[in-house]
Structures are given as structure tokens and as C-alpha cells.
Amino acid sequence: MNRKKFLYGAIGAALSIGMTAVPMPAPLAVHCGLVSQASAAGVQKSDVVLVGTVQTKLGAAKDWDPAAGATIMKPAGNGKYQLKGKLPAGTYEFKIAVGGSWDVNYGAKGTPNGGNIALRLKAPHEVTFTYDGTTHEVSYAYEGQQAEQEQVAKEMAERAIVVTGTVQTKAGAAKDWDPSDMKTRMAPQGNGFYTYTADLPAGAYYYKISVNGSWAENYGLNGNFDGANVQMNLDKPSKVTFFYNDKTHKIKDSTNYKLLSDAELPVLGGDAAGLTGEHILRDMELDQFYQAKLKAKAGEYNIEVSQKGQPPVKQRITVHKDGDVVFYFDGRQKKIIADDGSIHEDKVFHDTWDQNFRAPFEAVREGSQVRLTLHTQHGDVQKVQLVLCKAKITANGGDEYNPSFEAGSRQSYDMQLTGTKDGTDSWSVVITPDSYGIYGYKFLLDGVKEYGDDAKPGHTGM
């Protein structure tokens, strides 16, 4: 259940559905230069040059320059070439170019035009690079390498969550928008939560969360997959903590959120005290919408939620069947919800791209009608509401716009059961948005379960 997941729609002059943001340009994974260049002065046709992000650290004018004389490797006998230099801690990529151009180059495992070779240093080291002219493989060595690389391998085997954006260089990384730089890697805190803290100067910042060192998996505004950049403004130098939950993909920072300790979190009590499971309610949505899973038998329960510094909230809850029950506590509305799984989630369906479920599909003029339909399994649901939210445009975040549904306005509409066919109930409502804007919507089933966007905005949901 996720009260923050909205299916996107467009009204009037708003842009189209399924908005995604393109991250700032990331470096190419392979630099194999298909365009031939003449050998530069000082680099002969037989010279072997170490190229990559190590070059400027080793005295070259720029990185990925096959014509840089500063990183020519010297013959070391037996067909091998070496270059030694000091490198600060950081994440690097490199390969070998021969003769001052990209015409002949070797990457990982000595492959012609092969992939870049990665080097991660947890501390500054004097590193010796060795190239084998027979196998075309390149290796590196430094004091304490085995122990450090074992630690690096252990860290990389875990899921690497990185704060990626304009905060990186201010936090000590080599460059911004680099998902492979582990300088801004977040630390796991348990239950899917990750944090990273940095001292940052005043200014406007944009960031996202990247996973496992690349842009292949990243999350932005509202936790959307490949979503818009998140903006943060600091009026003065500040210590900032970034928060992320890897189960819900929600993102916050300490300018607008505080992650509570176990002693500060709400706790389930009353009749729930005797149920099996963890009674601490955790804010997986990073939005004061807490949850915990307990085992319960069908029946009536008097539930109490207590939280330090807050009056207790009491509510009577009905559980319809034995099994796991997810209890939710809305910290803002002071409301308790129980989801016992009696609604078949796989039978709940809506498709923003199908006019049987949303008509018309395209953006409409203000004052025009829009019909929305939801399918559920027959008999599962007694009441369905449409929750419509008009987004507030808060910042461009490096993209054209950042629609914020959190800061927007919302309205609820009761949907009508319009028919049953082949074991499926159809629920519909007609709405008439009366002003231009970007609208999101979700469906609330029996006041318990919600259906909205999954990790990617638009189309079907969850």
C-alpha cells in the first residue's frame, strides 16, 4: 500500500503522460575511439599509453587522451611496459592505447576495443600499472592491495546505493553525476533504509539515487524509476543527511525530513500487543505513513498506537481472514488502517493507455470530462474512491519541470459499480477538471488498499 503513488494525467496545456527525467550526462562505459588521429608529438607509433580517468592525476592535461605523453609506459623487459604514479582515493577507469590514437587500444582482459578496467582505491596509493605486450592485458599493483581489494569486493557485492548529482564534488568526489564514485555511497541502516551525511556549502543542489555504480537503475523525485532530479536549496553551509528506502525507493534529505529512531517511532498496542511480529511501525514511505506486519486471526480488534510525545490513537479494526496483516498508521491524519490481504491485488487493474479505463487518453481542455474505470475481482471490494491530486510545480531540477504531488491539492470522488462480467467488477467515475495543470490520481479500495503507479509512471500500476 502506498498513498503517494499517483497515476499521471495531463489537463489542458500540460505535457504528456509518463514523465521521466534524463540524468546529467554520464561518462561512456567504453572509450574505444573509432576515429583515427595522427600521432601527437612525443608519442611514437610504438608507444604504449595508459589512458583513462587516471591521466590528469598522473600529470596529463586531460583524461582519455591517447596522445598524452605524460602517461607513456616505459619498457620493463620481457615485452612488458610499466608506469608508476601516486593516485588519491577514488574510483577510476582506464585502458591501453598504442601509437597516440584510438586505432589500436585494449581494455578488460586484453580485448581490442574492450571495456574499461575499473580501479577503486579506498586510500591514496602509489600504483604500478603493467601492460603485457603479448596478452595485451594490463594489471596494477600497490602496497596493501590484497586486503584493500578484498574489502572493495565485499562492499561491491552488496547493493551499492549512491547519492548522485551536484552534491558529489562538494562532498569530495572527483566529479558530479558519477554513479560509479563510491565517495557518496549511502550506509545501510536496516529495514531498507540508507543514509549519507555531508557538510555542504550554501547553494542549489540537484541529485538522484543510483544503484550499483551505473545509471541502469536510478530513482528520482517521488521515488520514480529514472525520475526527475530532486532539488535541495541551502541558504547557508549545512550538515545534510540524505535518506533513501530501497523497498519503496522514496528519497528525502534533512532539509525536509527526519528519520526517527526506534525509540521515537509509533508502536502498535491494545489488542495488537498479543499478536506475533514486530510492533514498531516504520516510515517506509519517508512521509509519516508508518507500517508493520503482524499475524492475526479473523475478528474485531481494539488497536492503539502510541508514540513518544503524542497522545495515543485508538481505533477498532476488522480483520476478515487469518494470516499476515499489515497495519498502517497515518501520522498526519492519526488514522489506523489494516490490510489483511482479502482484496486480490492481482485482479485490481487500470491502464492509463487504454481508453476502456481512461477516456480520453490524451490531454484535455479545462472543463472537459474524463472518465476513469477500475477493475476488481467480483465481490472483493465494497467501496472505491478516486483520489485526484493537482501537482504544484516546485522546481525544474535540471529538467523542464518537477511536478510535486506532495505539495499539490487533492480531492476524492466516490466511484460507482457499473457492471460485472466474467468475475470482474467495473467501477467508474466521470470528473471535470476545471483548471489547467498536471494531475495525478490513485484509487482507494474499502479505505484500506490503494492502487497507483508502480516504479514507472503511467500505463498500469500496482
171-223 residue pLDDT tens = 999 999 999 999 999 999 999 999 999 999 999 999 999 998 888 889 999 89
Summarised one tens digit per residue, pLDDT across range 421-442 is: 999 999 999 999 888 888 888 8
Contacting residues for 195 by C-beta, under 8 A, at least 6 apart: 186, 187, 189, 241, 242, 243, 244, 259
DSSP string, 152-212: HHHHHHS--EEEEETTTGGGT-SSSS-TT-GGGBPEEEETTEEEEEEEE-SEEEEEEEEET
Confidence (pTM): 0.58
pLDDT at 408: 82
pLDDT at 396: 53
**Cis peptide leading into residue 88 (ω within 30°):** no
pLDDT at 370: 93
Is the predicted pLDDT of residue 15 greater than 50, yes or no? no
Summarised one tens digit per residue, pLDDT across range 24-71 is: 222 222 333 333 333 344 899 999 999 999 999 999 999 999 999 999
Q: Is residue 352 helix, strand or coil?
A: coil
Is the predicted pLDDT of residue 227 greater than 60, yes or no? yes
Query: Amino acid letter at 58?
Result: L
Q: Determine the Cα angle at 431 with ends 429 and 437, to 5°.
A: 140
Cα 121 from Cα 347, distance rounded (Å): 50
pLDDT at 454: 58
> Where is pLDDT greater, at 73 or 352?
73
Average pLDDT, the chain: 85
How confident is the model over 284-291, as a mean pLDDT?
A: 94
Is the predicted pLDDT of residue 86 greater than 90, yes or no? yes
Cα 110 from Cα 118, distance rounded (Å): 14
Asked if residues 205 and 167 have their Cβ atoms less than 8 Å apart, the reply is yes
Q: How many residues does the chain have?
A: 462
CA dihedral 215, 217, 221, 222 (to 10 degrees): 180
Q: What are the phi and psi torsion angles at 115 (to 5°)?
A: -65, 160
Cα 31 from Cα 62, distance rounded (Å): 14
Domains of the chain by start residue, with CATH: 7-17+352-451 (2.60.40.10), 48-153 (2.60.40.10), 159-253 (2.60.40.10), 267-339 (2.60.40.10)
Asked if residues 328 and 336 have their Cβ atoms less than 8 Å apart, the reply is yes
Confidence at 446, pLDDT banded by 50, 70, 90: confident
Asked if residues 210 and 179 have their Cβ atoms less than 8 Å apart, the reply is yes
> Where is pLDDT greater, at 392 or 359?
359
How confident is the model over 85-92, as a mean pLDDT?
A: 89
How confident is the model over 385-413, as a mean pLDDT?
A: 75
